[in-house]
Amino acid sequence: MRLSVPSLTFLTIGQAPRPDLSEAIEAHLPATARVRHAGVLDGLRRSEVEARFGAVEGRATLLSRLADGRPVTLDADAVEAALQVRLDQVEAQGADVVVLLCTGEFPALRAGRARLVEPDVLVTGYVGTVLRGSRVGFVVPLPEQVDEARQKWRGVVAEPAFATASPYADDDYQGLRAAARTHLGSRADALMLDCMGYGARHREALRDAGITVPVLTPGAVVGAALGPLLD
């Protein structure tokens, strides 16, 4: 069913705007769409973010970035609770579609009137369908996220393998390239960069390094899935 989208909000778990996360999706939107950006951590200083949302040892974590460009590691449970509050706010402000700019799992998150687009749902469905039977190598930002990612992908592809590289690392993509080569050494057929922080520049960095297997990024998958409904 074709949708009319006078107002779409990109909702990040960090601080808005995050054009680096939304650009691949925005490329698929009709010119008539009115786009807004909102973030869970908007208006907060780093000290406030760390006090309210700082990572807790032994609990699920998320990685995002503040407005000053520095990365921040967050407690997933605290983020999910605040994310619901922010979602309610952007709905009240008139958002017809809310696109979450995070591939984390938020099972309790619910929209009222607006359509909520969750990359986690779209990406796992895409990989499970298109790459069925393939050896898929996954890259996640942090080592402490591997166990959770393994649970997430275990029922989607056979024998998922994991490596880590932060999308915000200032290392000229060396960490990402090393993670990709680890997977290629295990004969991966495709790579899935499992964080919204990975975008076209990360895919291009791997291509420039001579990596030719398919490289999937969440933004590209979400944009390709959402665009036809909104055009």
**pLDDT at residue 1 in the model:** 47
> Are 113 and 16 contained in the same domain?
yes
Neighbours of 53 (CB within 10 A): 25
CATH number at residue 59: 3.40.50
> Are 142 and 194 contained in the same domain?
yes
Tell me if 1 is assigned to some domain: no
Sign of CA dihedral 73, 28, 124, 188: negative
- Alpha carbon distance 54, 82 (integer Å): 13
Tens-place pLDDT, residues 115-158: 999 999 999 999 999 999 999 999 999 999 999 999 999 989 98
Residue 231 clears pLDDT 80, i.e. is over it = no
> Are 136 and 75 contained in the same domain?
no
Tens-place pLDDT, residues 160-187: 999 999 999 999 999 999 999 999 999 9
Q: What percent of the chain clears pLDDT 70, i.e. is strictly above it?
A: 97
Tell me if 2 is assigned to some domain: no
Between the alpha carbon of residue 20 and those of residues 23, 71, 167, 187, the distances in Å are: 6, 14, 11, 30
Please compute the mean of the pLDDT values over residues 189-217 and round it to a whole number: 97
- Alpha carbon distance 81, 67 (integer Å): 21
Tell me if 113 is assigned to some domain: yes
Q: State which residues form the domain around 110.
A: 7-118+220-230
> Are 161 and 101 contained in the same domain?
no
Q: Which among 20, 29, 67, 35 is positioned nearest to 200, based on CA atoms?
A: 20
Number of domains, the chain: 2
Look at strands 61-65 and 71-75 and give their pairing. Answer: antiparallel
**pLDDT at residue 13 in the model:** 97
Please compute the mean of the pLDDT values over residues 57-65 and round it to a whole number: 94
**pLDDT at residue 63 in the model:** 96
pTM of the model: 0.91
